[in-house]
Structures are given as C-alpha cells and as structure tokens.
Amino acid sequence: MSDIQAWIDNEVKSNEIVLFMKGTPTFPQCGFSGQVVQILDYLDVPYKGVNVLENDDLRQGIKDYSNWPTIPQLYVKGEFVGGCDIIREMFQNQELQELLGSSKTVA
C-alpha cells in the first residue's frame, strides 16, 4: 500500500464521518462538495473535512482508494457511502439520517 493510500486508509478508519472534498467545510470550492457540506451541516453531525486540492497525490489517491472517479466522497464508519448524488438521494429518503444517527427530517 503506497503512503498516500495508507494515509487515506488511516483517515477513513480513525474518523467516524470524513468527507474528502474540494475546499474546506467553511470554504467549499466546488458546487458538489458544497452541497454535501450543506446536508451534513443541516443534519448537525460532527465530521472531518479533508481538502483534496491541497495535494495532487491525495486528489488522485482517493479516487483509486474507492474506485470512484469524482470528488466529494463521504465515508462513514470506514465505509464509502457515496458522492454528491447518492448523499442527496439518501438524505431525501431519510437513509442518511438513519446512517448518521441524526434526528433531523427533511424540511
């Protein structure tokens, strides 16, 4: 396992909820990353944001790690949950709330 894969693996396994994104939760730098940040903030769950723009190896490494070609990528309890489309779909049908243990319903 390369260094970057090991680093990613550690981030995924040592944080309950981690979002690999473009930018940071306070300053998302891509519409899709921003949408997932909005959903997570609305659900009021603690999560770690990892800015893949800071390191090209990371930006490519995360795509190899999950065999998923785009950013953002959400991981919960060490499992890849999905990108923006899947997170939005799960949020709309309450699946995400159940997974994250949030009591917030869709407005």
Partner 1 sequence: MPMDAREIETLIRESLPDAKVVIRDLAGDGDHFAAEVVSESFRGKSRVQQHQLVYEALKGNMGGALHALALQTSVPD
Of the pair 35, 102, the CB lying nearest partner 1 is at 35
Alpha-carbon dihedral sign for residues 4, 6, 7, 8: positive
Q: How many residues bind partner 1 (CB under 8 A)?
A: 15
| Close Cβ partners of 76 (under 8 Å, ≥ 6 residues apart) | 16, 17, 99, 100
Binder among 15, 86, 99, 104 for partner 1 (CB under 8 A): 86
Q: Least CB distance from residue 45 to partner 1, whole Å?
A: 20
53-68 in b/e form (b: 16+ CB < 10 A) is eeeeebbebbbebbee
Q: Does the protein bind partner 1 through residue 70 (CB under 8 A)? A: yes
CB of 10 to partner 1, least distance (A): 21
Residues of this chain that interact with partner 1 (CB under 8 A) are 32, 63, 67-70, 80-86, 89-90
